[in-house]
Amino acid sequence: MMQRQKSFDQKQPCLYLVATPIGNLEEITPRAISILKEVDVIAAEDTRNTRKLLTHFDIHTRLIAHHKHNERTSAMGLVQLLQEGKQVALVSDAGYPLISDPGQVVSEIVIQAGFGVIPISGANAMLNALVASGLPAQPFMFYGFLKPQEKEMVRELHALKEYPQTLIFYEAPHRVKKTLERMLYVLGDRRMCLARELTKRHEEFIRGTISEILDICEECKGEMVLVIAGNNDKKERMVDMAGVHQMITDYMEHGLSSKEAIKKTAKELGLSKNELYKSYHALHS
Ligand code: SAM
């Protein structure tokens, strides 16, 4: 059912999704501080981390835990608080809740329960990395973390290989070498930017090719974002792969085997049959 929310005209309490700094504590807005002071409860991914932030800004609001592993139960608890008339803010350890952080489930449940969900702007690692990467800022695809296991990661990368959008990934420093090796193997030696320690004293942008950055990545410490050029090499790769995959599925629904459907689609669109086979099966097998 359609639902309209006028954020500044709420008669009931709301859930505020408050972005917090990703390093530099000056990167929090006055509005975020006011909201964190005014709400009745702050639900946090890690109460110890958030306590430090609150202490820094002299905020004394009640703090409760909202972990990813019990997100549904915790979400029901937050809905109950809203039903009791309490204003609630959700924060993660850094940046925006929901963005590779807890918050998806609670937002959906709160919306279903008929309460407002209001974003409070602030810092976010992927956008800082993207805008300073030197790569096209539009269109882009934010992927978050790839799966760490080799097979899974390679499969995910195969599914992304044809996309023309600039690709943005979060990664941990101890995994970056393996990840770049797999990217080089699946995506080829594309232009990229490794953005690390954003907003902090050691903030750095390393712009080059995947192979160049692979050579020096072991010396890169701290939190990092990988921004990878999209696939713009061939005309065929500018196509909308979701639409192409749908075409294959449609042919299969009309009785073709997956092999026949892929062959027919590739022929009609002038695409490589083998590439299409790999990208379709990476997503659908
Ligand atoms: N919610 C956050 C956001 O809005 O950006 C992201 C949280 S996610 C659990 C943590 C990952 O974000 C890190 O592993 C890293 O890839 C990226 N990240 C967070 N802070 C960063 C920073 N200051 N510099 C570079 N990357 C950062």
Same domain, 60 and 145: no
- 31 within domain boundaries: yes
Query: What would the two tokens of residue 61 be?
Result: 């609001």
Same domain, 72 and 106: yes
The CATH number assigned to the domain holding 116 equals: 3.40.1010.10
Domain of residue 147 covers: 132-228
CA of 35 to the centre of ligand 1 (A): 23
The SS3 assignment for 229 reads coil
Residues 82, 88: contact at Cβ < 8 Å? yes
CA of 51 to the centre of ligand 1 (A): 19
Task: Please indicate whether residue 179, judged by its CB atom, sits closer than 6 Å to ligand 1.
Answer: no
- 181 within domain boundaries: yes
pLDDT of the residue at 67: 82
The SS3 assignment for 187 reads helix
Percentage of the chain exceeding pLDDT 90: 81
Same domain, 117 and 144: no
CA of 92 to the centre of ligand 1 (A): 11
Confidence tier at 281 by pLDDT (50, 70, 90): confident
User: Counting atoms of ligand 1 from 1, which one is nearest the CA of 99?
Assistant: 1
Residue 236 has pLDDT above 70, yes or no: no
Same domain, 115 and 144: no
pLDDT of the residue at 283: 76
Residues 197, 171: contact at Cβ < 8 Å? no
- 5 within domain boundaries: no
Residue 28 to residue 274: CA distance in whole angstroms: 49
CA of 133 to the centre of ligand 1 (A): 16
Same domain, 148 and 222: yes
Closest to 41 in 3D by CA, of 82, 89, 1, 103: 89
Query: Residue 176: is it exposed, middle or buried by C-beta count within 10 angstroms (0-12/13-18/19+)?
Result: buried
Pairing mode, strands 88-91 and 14-18: parallel
- Which of the pair, 88 or 263, is modelled with greater confidence? 88
- 236 within domain boundaries: no
Q: Write the DSSP symbol of residue 146.
A: P
pLDDT of the residue at 273: 86
Residue 233 has pLDDT above 90, yes or no: no
Residue 96 has pLDDT above 90, yes or no: yes
- 2 within domain boundaries: no
- The string over 255-267, giving b where at least 16 C-beta atoms fall within 10 Å of a residue's C-beta and e elsewhere, is ebebeebbbebbe
pTM: 0.83
Note the pLDDT tens digit of each residue in 34-61: 999 999 999 999 999 999 999 999 999 9
- 24 within domain boundaries: yes
Same domain, 170 and 221: yes
Same domain, 106 and 156: no
Residue 92 to residue 134: CA distance in whole angstroms: 28
Task: Please indicate whether residue 99, judged by its CB atom, sits closer than 6 Å to ligand 1.
Answer: yes
Note the pLDDT tens digit of each residue in 245-255: 888 988 899 89
Residues 117, 82: contact at Cβ < 8 Å? no
pLDDT of the residue at 227: 98
- 1 within domain boundaries: no
pLDDT of the residue at 282: 78
Q: Which of 170, 193, 220 to mutate to test the pocket of ligand 1 (most atoms within 8 A of CB)?
A: 170
Residues 100, 78: contact at Cβ < 8 Å? no
Note the pLDDT tens digit of each residue in 165-196: 999 999 999 999 999 999 999 999 999 999 99
pLDDT of the residue at 240: 67
Residue 252 to residue 243: CA distance in whole angstroms: 14
Confidence tier at 158 by pLDDT (50, 70, 90): very high
DSSP line for 92-107: -SSB-TTSSSS-HHHH
Which residue among 123, 150, 174 closes a domain? 123
Q: How many domains does the chain have?
A: 3
CA 123 to chain centre: 14
Which residue among 70, 91, 123 closes a domain? 123
Q: Write the DSSP symbol of residue 196.
A: E
Same domain, 114 and 29: yes
pLDDT of the residue at 238: 45
- Average pLDDT, rounded, for the chain: 93
Same domain, 58 and 148: no
| 203 backbone φψ class: left, alpha, beta (φ>0; ψ -120 to 50) | beta
Same domain, 137 and 165: yes
Same domain, 218 and 255: no
The CATH number assigned to the domain holding 212 equals: 3.30.950.10
pLDDT of the residue at 239: 55
CA of 95 to the centre of ligand 1 (A): 7
pLDDT of the residue at 284: 78
Same domain, 175 and 83: no
- 234 within domain boundaries: no
Which residue among 55, 90, 123 closes a domain? 123
- Count the neighbouring beta carbons within 10 Å of the beta carbon of residue 185: 11
